[in-house]
Amino acid sequence: MDIIGAIIYIFLFILLMVFVFSMGLLTPIIGKKDIISVLAIGFIVGLVGGTFFISPIYQEMPYVVGSVYETIGDNNETITAELSPSIDENSLITELKQKEGVISVSNKGIVLKTDPFPEDRKKIIEEKIPIVDENFKNFSVQTGGLISINFTGNYDPSTAIDTLSEWLMYSSGINVKYSSVIIQINAKSNSVNEITDYLESKNIVVNSIDGPVQNAINSTKESMIDTNYMILISGIIGVIVAIISIFFDNITEGIRRIIIKIRNR
């Protein structure tokens, strides 16, 4: 949601509160017995305003905070993406490096989905992987059939996939169902959206985005209350506006008396 849209939504919510206030001012005419009805109307109108006008703005707050971080600092974000080996990685990396805001692109590693295997086979795989290829330094093996390996440098992922797949088949009879290549893109924070849109247009899965801006967005989300509570608070605001309007004459009279007392001191 853009700033103009947010201003319009806030203005519409204020209009609803003006309506509630106007209803409360009519209590001397419609009678004190209808005060409960006015309060109920205030609550319902507040809920409606909270649902349609306040909650959309509230849900956008983390991204507003992220935009502020983008503006005030020269921050970099790390985008982790997962792509199929069938994609021409070298061509993709060349295209990414030409995009504005991209600082660097590197191979992070590979992920293999295999047939499940028992715990004892897992231990053997973990022992032998570093021997299969000296570049296989950091890895994770799960008995459900998921093996991930992180590279220490820009090691050729196709070679890594072929080497590991052949070794798993010949040594353990484990079939590799599919594999994927993990790349990391270091980019300026104000270019992240454009880069992720480009990746998604290529049917490339974006696994994660890490950095100061994304951390600010995540922290804001964690600190926010549930949207339903925000809608309830909007309803309570409607009740408060109704109460103020119902007793508006008494409130203004009390303020006037206080002012007179202060002046007469």
Tell me the domains of the chain and their CATH numbers: 3-72+220-264 (no CATH), 76-206 (3.30.70)
pLDDT digits (tens, 9 = 90+) for 30-67: 666 678 888 999 999 999 999 999 999 999 988 888 88
Sheet with 76-83: list strands edge to edge. Answer: 138-142, 146-150, 102-114, 176-188, 76-83, 205-210
pLDDT digits (tens, 9 = 90+) for 244-255: 988 887 778 778
Report the percentage of the chain scoring pLDDT > 90. Answer: 46
How far apart CA 81 and CA 105 sit, in angstroms, is 11
pLDDT digits (tens, 9 = 90+) for 177-234: 999 999 999 999 888 889 999 999 988 989 999 988 888 888 888 999 999 999 999 9
Provide the pLDDT for residue 152. 66
Indicate yes or no: pTM above 0.85: no
How far apart CA 69 and CA 76 sit, in angstroms, is 11
The answer, yes or no, to whether residue 239 has pLDDT greater than 90, is: yes
